[in-house]
Amino acid sequence: MTDSPSDTTEAPSPLDTFAAELATKVGAARWTADYGTIHIYVNRDQWVAAATTARDEADLGFFSWLSAVDWSKDVEVGEPAADVEDLEERYEILCRLASVNTSAAVILSTSVAKDDAWLDTLVPVYAGANWHEREAAEMFGVNFVGHPNLVKLYLPSGFEGHPLRKSFALGARTVKPWPGTVDVEELPSTTNVEAGEGS
């Protein structure tokens, strides 16, 4: 992930220009524009203001989605992050905003500590954040302060735990271990395995 382009021999792409401008407007700590996707990283206390600025001053009025990523050192399922030792454990909350007049779009990103997982709600700025925040809350356990109705959306009411956290075990994997290095599973053997006969 790169910071603002330091290579001044190349003219910055329109994407980079747009990202740099918006980052300045919201007062973001840093921004990236890799793979055609703009990420703007703000602090938790800048969250609502950044979204409001993006909506009002950068024509990013279309609320696409809001979700989170759980950055953990220990993972119950799947593969761990790269550079696990240097990893800062946190929940990264992402919010994608777009424009309907051009193809401009950004992902606002902020991080909250795991033992202090709360964030201001975006519902006053974008009404559609309602369901997305409910889902992020139940899946990751992040509290959205000021949300009108933070009840479970997908999960049944008695469900315990937060499924999309890396510490939440996947039921299927507790029964059957991770297949490991096999990329393509072999076809099942046609001989009678139970009787103990080999191929």
Partner 1 sequence: MTELDTGGIVQVSDGGVSVEIKGEAMTLNIGPQHPSTHGVLRLVAEVDGERISKLDPVVGYMHRGKEKLAEVRTYAQITALINRIDWVSGFANEVGFVIGVERLMGIEPPPRAQYIRLILTELTRISNHLVFASSYPLELGAATPLMYAFREREHIMDVIESVTGGRFHPNFNRVGGVKPAAGGGKTQKKVSLDLPAGFYAAAANAMDRAEVACDELDELVTGNEIIQVRAKNVGVISREDVLAYGISGPNARASGIEFDLRKHEDILPYSDFDWNVAVRHHGDSFDRYLVRMDEIRESIKIVRQAIANVPSGPLQAKVPRVLKVPPGSVYVRTENPKGEMGYYIVSQGGRVPYRVKIRSASFSNISMMSKVAVGQLIPDLVATMGSLDFVLGDVDR
- Binding residues for partner 1, rule: CB under 8 A, are 1, 34-37, 39, 61-65, 67, 69-70, 77-82, 94, 96, 100-103, 105, 107, 126-128, 130-131, 139, 152-156, 163-164, 168, 170, 173, 178, 183
E strand or H helix that includes residue 24: helix 14-26
φ/ψ bin of 27: left (φ > 0), alpha (ψ from -120 to 50), beta (otherwise): left
Shorter beta-carbon distance to partner 1: residue 49 or 81: 81
CB of 172 to partner 1, least distance (A): 8
d(CA 112, CA 85): 19
For the bound state, the minimum distance from the C-beta of residue 80 to partner 1, rounded and expressed in Å, comes to: 7
Question: Please, which residue, 100 or 113, has the CB nearer to partner 1?
Answer: 100
Residue 126 beta carbon to partner 1: minimum distance, rounded to whole angstroms = 5
Nearer to partner 1, 151 or 195 (CB): 151
Please identify, using beta-carbon distances, which residue of 118 and 154 lies nearer to partner 1. Answer: 154
The angle formed by the CA atoms of residues 167, 173 and 179, to the nearest 5 degrees, is 115
Q: Structure tokens of 35?
A: 């793979």
DSSP state of 192: -
At its nearest, how many Å lie between partner 1 and the CB of residue 195?
25
Angle at 131 (CA atoms; ends 128, 135), nearest 5 degrees = 140
* Whole-angstrom distance, CA of residue 106 vs CA of residue 8: 23
- Collapsing DSSP states into helix, strand and coil, what is residue 64? strand
Please state the closest distance from residue 152 (CB atom) to partner 1, in A: 8
CA–CA distances in Å: residue 124 to residues 44, 46, 51, 121? 16, 15, 10, 7
Closest CB to partner 1 among 77 and 150? Answer: 77
Tell me the C-alpha distance between 102 and 19, whole Å: 14
CA distance 30 to 24: 9
| Least CB distance to partner 1 at residue 36 (A) | 7
25 vs 168 by CB, closer to partner 1:
168
